[in-house]
């Protein structure tokens, strides 16, 4: 689902410490995951092409990139383990990404890092790295014991001009920037600039043979409507349910606000089928994928917006075929599939609803519920809908844009998933 123009008013709305390899030996790809059984994705973000900020997402640094900067990014991991490693991406870069160092440590709030917790990361034992355009790199393991739901700060030192930056446009977190080399600055006072986006950071993995659940889809997954910095997205609340139940499983958010199942967007990222491999299937330890897709495919043909193009009309048959392709690819990797029904669209403060779109949404939801194609169904439609008007969201569960779940709505969706059938 798309942007709504309300972020500056309230919560966000929209449509997500290293030392590295030498420049003499660039990282051209991630290491083969022969050891995937001993590593589990515990945090993640879906990377996007550089694009300008909006009133919804606020300004970002993706188009200008970085030049002699240090960038500190705060994330929340969802599984416990004694060691971790960090995954970086230069997928949409136009030149090699050079890092002269980086660190990971425990967040002390804002841009601060807890004293004594900062650890260097290395790639191949070296203190510098160069990631070519389109490439990625995975750090060596580092001994930093983590607890479930703990916040970490990952800091990247970018000594030269990077060019446009691979990033994730919408987040409910805050990233910080300082000029010069501030890698060892634990207090964070020099990190005077901030945005609500993530840069280059696409995954954190822990040394644990535990299952990972990846949530994959659009703005409902990405967390639009959730409170800034509150960790109240659907995926956050699902992770908290798993922790409370004593499960070792982690939850990774691979949503892109505005994303679609079948068509790309310059603003909202590659289509879901194109990015399924890198954002879901190739992450280590993944045992289940939770899928919410289709709302933007149905509604975008009505939008006169450059970010929505190309926006051809998409019928239910094509959407079902797309879901079937996704399910087949996941099952081929032994990954359990959870289909999420499309939430009510009527009442949104932008033109997402017509009788024809509603009929298509109802038909797609009927297929998700009754076809048996998905292993499990999470009925977000019923969790969110107003009992007195089922084609509209329940007033207490919807953000001020009239569409996206607020914190209570995200809680209701997370509560509707039967954890006994998830893994």
Annotate 333-401 with DSSP letters as a single string.
Answer: TT-EEEEEPPPP-TT-SSS---HHHHHHHHHHHHHHHHS--SSEEE-HHHHHEETTEEEEE-GGGB-TT
Residue 409 and residue 394 in contact, taking contact as beta carbons nearer than 8 Å: yes
Q: Tell me what the mean pLDDT of segment 230-249 comes to.
A: 97
pLDDT band at 216 (very low <50, low <70, confident <90, very high): very high
Residue 237 and residue 414 in contact, taking contact as beta carbons nearer than 8 Å: yes
Q: Is the pLDDT confidence value at 251 over 80?
A: yes
Specify the pLDDT at position 304: 83
Q: Tell me what the mean pLDDT of segment 192-197 comes to.
A: 97
Specify the pLDDT at position 28: 34
Q: What are phi and psi of 194, to 5 degrees?
A: -150, 155
Length of the chain: 423
| 355-411 pLDDT per residue, tens | 999 999 999 999 999 999 999 999 999 999 999 999 999 999 999 999 999 999 999
How crowded is the C-beta side of 310, counted as CA atoms within 13 Å? 9
3-state percent helix, strand, coil for the chain, nearest multiple of 5: 20, 25, 50
Specify the pLDDT at position 30: 40
Specify the pLDDT at position 162: 98
More confident residue, 66 or 6: 66
Specify the pLDDT at position 15: 35
Greatest Cα pair distance in the chain: 65
Specify the pLDDT at position 1: 56
Q: Is the pLDDT confidence value at 97 over 90?
A: yes
- The overall average pLDDT reported for the chain is 91
| 3-54 pLDDT per residue, tens | 444 333 223 233 323 222 222 333 333 433 334 458 999 999 999 999 998 7
Q: What are phi and psi of 370, to 5 degrees?
A: -115, -15
Nearest to 378 by CA among 386, 369, 387: 369
Nearest to 1 by CA among 275, 305, 277: 305
d(CA 88, CA 104): 13
Contacts of 387 (CB under 8 A, 6+ apart): 394
Q: What percent of the chain has pLDDT over 90?
A: 85
* C-alpha separations of 209 from 42, 115, 205, 225, 286 in Å: 11, 30, 11, 33, 10
Specify the pLDDT at position 159: 98
Partners of 73 in the β-ladder: 154, 175
For residue 40, the Cα-to-chain-centroid distance in whole angstroms is 16
More confident residue, 414 or 15: 414
**Domain 206-421: what homologous superfamily?**
SGNH hydrolase (3.40.50.1110)
Q: What are phi and psi of 296, to 5 degrees?
A: -70, -35
How crowded is the C-beta side of 338, counted as CA atoms within 13 Å? 25
Each residue of 369-385: b (16+ CB within 10 Å) or e?
eeeebbbbbbbbbbbbb
Nearest to 200 by CA among 344, 379, 56, 73: 73
**Residue extents of the structural domains in the chain:** 36-41+51-204, 206-421
Range with lowest mean pLDDT among 3-12, 229-238, 326-335: 3-12
* Pairing, β 136-138 against β 40-44: unpaired
Q: Write the DSSP string, 366-379.
A: HHHHHS--SSEEE-
| Sign of the CA dihedral running 391, 320, 286, 223 | negative
Specify the pLDDT at position 247: 96
| 133-170 pLDDT per residue, tens | 999 999 999 999 999 999 999 999 999 999 999 999 99
> What is the pTM assigned to this prediction?
0.91
Q: If DSSP codes are grouped into helix, strand and coil, which group holds residue 329?
A: helix
Nearest to 255 by CA among 11, 52, 14: 14
Specify the pLDDT at position 23: 29
């Amino acid at each position: 689902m798309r942007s709504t123009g309300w972020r500056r008013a309230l919560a966000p709305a929209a449509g997500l410490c290293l030392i590295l390899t030498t420049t003499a030996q660039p990282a051209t790809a991630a290491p083969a995951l022969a050891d995937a059984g001993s590593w589990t994705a515990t945090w993640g973000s879906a990377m996007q092409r550089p694009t300008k900020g909006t009133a919804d997402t606020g300004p970002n640094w993706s188009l200008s990139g970085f030049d002699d900067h240090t960038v500190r990014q705060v994330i929340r991991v969802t599984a416990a383990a004694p060691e971790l490693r960090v995954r970086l991406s230069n997928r949409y870069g136009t030149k090699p990404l050079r890092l002269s160092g980086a660190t990971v440590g425990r967040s002390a709030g804002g841009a601060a890092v807890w004293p004594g917790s900062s650890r260097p990361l290395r790639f191949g034992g070296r203190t510098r790295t160069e990631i070519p355009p389109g490439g990625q790199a995975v750090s060596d393991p580092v001994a930093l014991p983590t607890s479930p739901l703990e916040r970490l700060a990952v800091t990247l030192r970018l000594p030269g001009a990077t060019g446009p930056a691979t990033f994730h446009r919408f987040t409910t977190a805050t990233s910080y920037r300082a000029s010069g080399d501030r890698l060892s600055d634990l207090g964070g006072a020099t990190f005077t600039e901030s945005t609500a986006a993530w840069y280059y950071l696409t995954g954190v993995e822990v040394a644990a043979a535990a299952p990972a659940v990846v949530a994959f889809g659009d703005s409902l997954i990405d967390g639009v409507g959730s409170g800034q910095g509150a960790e109240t997205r659907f995926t956050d609340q699902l992770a908290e349910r798993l922790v409370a139940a004593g499960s070792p499983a982690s939850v990774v958010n691979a949503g892109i606000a505005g994303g679609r199942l079948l068509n790309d967007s310059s603003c909202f990222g590659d289509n879901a089928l194109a990015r399924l491999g890198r954002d879901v299937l190739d992450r280590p330890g993944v045992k289940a994928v939770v899928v919410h897709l289709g709302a933007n495919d149905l509604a975008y043909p009505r939008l006169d917006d450059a970010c929505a193009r190309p926006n051809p009309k998409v019928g239910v048959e094509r959407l079902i075929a797309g879901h079937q392709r996704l399910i087949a690819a996941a099952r081929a990797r032994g990954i359990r599939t959870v289909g999420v029904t499309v939430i009510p669209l009527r009442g949104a403060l932008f033109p997402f609803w017509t009788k024809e779109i509603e009929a298509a949404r109802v038909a797609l939801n009927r297929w998700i519920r009754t076809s048996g194609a998905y292993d499990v169904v999470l009925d977000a439609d019923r969790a969110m809908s107003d009992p007195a008007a089922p084609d509209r969201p329940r007033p207490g569960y919807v953000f001020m844009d009239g569409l996206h779940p607020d914190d209570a709505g995200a809680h209701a969706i997370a509560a509707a998933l039967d954890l006994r059938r998830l893994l």
